[in-house]
Amino acid sequence: MKPAILALTFALGLGLAAEAAADDAPGQALRPELWFSSDADGNETSKQALGWDLRRVDEDHWLGVKLEHARFAGDDWSRSENRLYGRAAGGRGNWRWKVDAGTNGEDLLGSASLHSQDARRKEFFIERELLETRQGVERDLMLTFAGAAIDLPLGARWTATALAGLQDFGSGTNLRTHMRGNLVFAALPEQGISVQVRTRYFRNSVAHEGDYYSPEWHGEALGVLALRRNRGGYQWRAIIGAGRQRNDAESWRSARLLEVGVDTPHWKKAWLRANAGYRDTPVVGQTGNGTYAYRFASIEAVIDL
């Protein structure tokens, strides 16, 4: 992407952000962040970032910048780069939006989303990141994922969620079509416990492209037990799931999911969010050979100034 286009896009993201940041009595905050992930193919990604909210009203209304150091590595290769982001969140009426527009000096990176806050929650999103495989890093392939989702209340305790999206791999050939659907039953709402069925299906227009997982199609279905509970100022989250998965070249096999997370209460103008997880269903940065395994951990802090 041309530098002029990058600069224009970056400035546009900041300009849109500034509109929502013009609230009364804003403060400032520092936001250190850590991310690590690895998969069964030996690919690893680590990111260390420091954000600075120049204007911060609350969790939904802020404007700032972020400096990030990212490292992508495999068994016998690695690449590191520094990134600069302009980012913000805001909203009007029933709608909320978030922009995270950045660059590594060559390419546009980041994400943007817009969602409503009503019972039929609608969301529109786009994400752009480096394809985290050896060929993706060496060829500087940008992974772009855009789509929309909606929540559909089905009664006092039932909710369905549907998502549709398109994913481009920067190669100019393969375009992946995504479909996801979840059915959620609030089994013990006073305890924050729900039972869910999660399904996912995607199809590649060009199968077996590059060194990432790209069969003609992949499908999976998992039964999930989820917990989200507030206690003593902490919010605890846990998800455990099991089911089946398959693609055009393999028969049905097991699928598992485990995620845990916590948000701490504010303590001396600071709070912390931590998440970790494991799944043995495939992610983009996998070849599809052998046993799938994807692990991640992240920590984010907000320190009010």
Task: State pLDDT tens for residues 211-226.
Answer: 888 999 999 999 999 9
The ranges assigned to domains in the chain are 3-304
Domain 3-304 is in which class? mainly beta
Q: Which of 109-123, 207-221, 225-239 has the lowest mean pLDDT?
A: 207-221
pTM across the whole model: 0.88
Q: pLDDT digit string (tens) for 38-68?
A: 988 888 999 999 999 999 998 899 999 999 9
Could you write out the three-class secondary structure of the chain?
A: CCHHHHHHHHHHHHHHHHHHHCCCCCEEEEEEEEEEEEECCCCEEEEEEEEEEEEEEECCEEEEEEEEEEEEECCCCEEEEEEEEEEEEEEECCEEEEEEEEECCCCEEEEEEEEECCCCCEEEEEEEEECCCHHHHHCCCEEEEEEEEEEEECCCCEEEEEEEEEEECCCCCCEEEEEEEEEEEEEEHHHCEEEEEEEEEEEECCCCCCCCCCCCEEEEEEEEEEEEEEECCEEEEEEEEEEEEEECCEEEEEEEEEEEEEECCCCCCEEEEEEEEEECCCCCCCCCCCCCCEEEEEEEEEEEC
